[in-house]
Amino acid sequence: MRYSALSLFANALMGQKGWKPAWRDAAPKPAYDVIIVGGGGHGLATAYYLAKEHGIRNVAVLEKGWIGSGNAGRNTTIIRSNYLLPGNEPFYEWSMKLWEGLEQDVNYNSMVSQRGVLNLCHSDAQRDAYARRANAMRINGADSELLDQDGVRAMYPHLLDFDNARFPIKGGLLQKRGGTARHDAVVWGYARAADKLGVDIVQNCEVNGFIRDASGAVVGVETTRGPIRAGKVGLAVAGSTSRLTCKLDMRLPIESHVLQAFVSEGLKPLIDGVITFGAGHFYVSQSDKGGLVFGGDIDGYNSYAQRGNLPVVEDVAESAMALMPSIGRVRMLRSWGGIMDMSMDGTPIIDKTHIPGFYLNTGWCYGGFKATPASGWCFAWTIAKDVAHARNALMRLDRFRTGHIIDEKGVGPQPNLH
Ligand SMILES: Cc1cc2nc3c(=O)[nH]c(=O)nc-3n(C[C@H](O)[C@H](O)[C@H](O)COP(=O)(O)OP(=O)(O)OC[C@H]3O[C@@H](n4cnc5c(N)ncnc54)[C@H](O)[C@@H]3O)c2cc1C
């Protein structure tokens, strides 16, 4: 069934009884051409682009829980392409372009909302760094605007403490095409579109090992629903990556950390876009339901648990108060955590590995949601053609060995921007 205004209208007249499940609940087959492990946004997007762009439709996505139960359904939904370095900026700008056409492409309302992302700066040095970043963005075809204090004040006059705060606001870097998308609708949209092209989406199917042939190549996976063979296996399991690669004796330059997010009680419209604090690690937007959605730093210790600890709650609340004292009496409603796959240079890995038949998509740090379309697109290309596309050519696994790192973490004045 194609979603349209007409189908909405017809179903309204029929008491909403005409809707069908958005995708099949597939049982695993004994073998596939490609298996993608992990039913988050990246895994599902990869399967979709494998089928759509490369005609590879004998594909399964294996998910240990329900699709979107990982970071895809836990993030703060920000999309942007305001990166600095050559390996990253063209990739994230490509993702932005895919976001702009996503809803039409997959025929699903993912609530892509280009409401603008504003990074605040609080010192002259930080403004200089933003000017450099803004130029890098423009060189790569992205939009960027440097705002002075008056420009920021015009956007958020009632919110921010400009002059008397501990960190006075000097201006900001604005990307108007940035914004938010409804995270689980992104997952559902890709799942539905992939399913329509013949991809099997298998939930409640945990991969707990790999099948290898005599040469050592990966030729399938062991799962809680039995062994499944495959021509190629792609891993897109975010914070669980090292748990699975250790079964292949692969040690990776990534660490798993908890990242928390928070939602306040519903408020009347207060924040039009996304604001990030440049002097601490805090960012905030307002959901369509009215809750302030915000987050901050990782929890600072390695963990596979999808829940965080109180010191970071306090830290994030402190940053919120430093930036916007006016929200001090707003009540926090919910918080939750996800497991982040932190790479050591703040940049992801999309690559084939030294093991034939085994491909890797990981290292998304704080920011893999915005990458979902481009990540799936590039990973599908890499799996289908056995070679990286120009867009992910620098996101190599061996860059940590060869020294060709893409140090987007930028330990300088804006470590929080990746
Ligand atoms: C609190 C928080 C806020 C964030 N905010 C933003 C943001 O605003 N903007 C942004 O761009 N990014 C953000 N991110 C990061 C972003 O959510 C992730 O980088 C991105 O969703 C990763 O997508 P994924 O598909 O790789 O991972 P996931 O969505 O985590 O998918 C991996 C899937 O693999 C499954 N899996 C794991 N092990 C196995 C196994 N053995 N067998 C089968 N399946 C398995 C998991 O259940 C999971 O569903 C945030 C993350 C968190 C936690």
Question: Could you report the per-residue pLDDT of 205-247, keeping only the tens digit for each?
Answer: 999 999 999 999 999 999 999 999 999 999 999 999 999 999 9
| Integer Cα distance of 247 and 29 in angstroms | 23
Residues of the chain by 3-state class (helix, strand, coil), percent to 5: 30, 25, 40
| Integer Cα distance of 239 and 304 in angstroms | 7
Q: What is the pLDDT of residues 161-186, one digit of tens each?
A: 788 788 999 999 999 999 999 999 99
Least confident interval from 70-79, 90-99, 151-160, 233-242: 151-160
| Integer Cα distance of 337 and 259 in angstroms | 5
pLDDT at res. 416: 52
Q: What is the mean pLDDT of the chain?
A: 94
Q: Select from 35, 119, 237, 245 the residue to mutate for testing ligand 1; criterion: most ligand atoms less than 8 Å from CB.
A: 237
Per DSSP, the residues of 30-48 read SEEEEEEE--SHHHHHHHH
Q: Select from 341, 359, 369 the residue to mutate for testing ligand 1; criterion: most ligand atoms less than 8 Å from CB.
A: 369
pTM above 0.85, yes or no: yes
Question: Long-range contacts made by residues 212-217, C-beta under 8 angstroms, separation at least 24?
Answer: 215/356, 216/355, 216/356, 217/355, 217/356, 217/357, 217/358
Residue 82 beta carbon below 6 angstroms from any ligand 1 atom: no
pLDDT at 120 over 50: yes
pLDDT (average), residues 38-62: 98
286 backbone dihedrals φ, ψ, rounded to 5°: -125, 130
pLDDT at 415 over 50: no
Nearest 5°: the CA angle 308, 311, 317 is 100
Beta strands (DSSP E) in 43-107 are 59-62, 78-79
pLDDT at res. 387: 97
Residue 412's pLDDT band, with cuts at 50, 70 and 90, is: very low
Spatial strand order of the sheet with 145-148 comes to 145-148, 171-175, 117-121, 274-277, 282-286, 291-302, 254-266, 332-343
DSSP-derived secondary structure letter, 284: E
| Integer Cα distance of 50 and 46 in angstroms | 6
pLDDT at 302 over 80: yes
Residue 399 beta carbon below 6 angstroms from any ligand 1 atom: no
pLDDT at 414 over 80: no
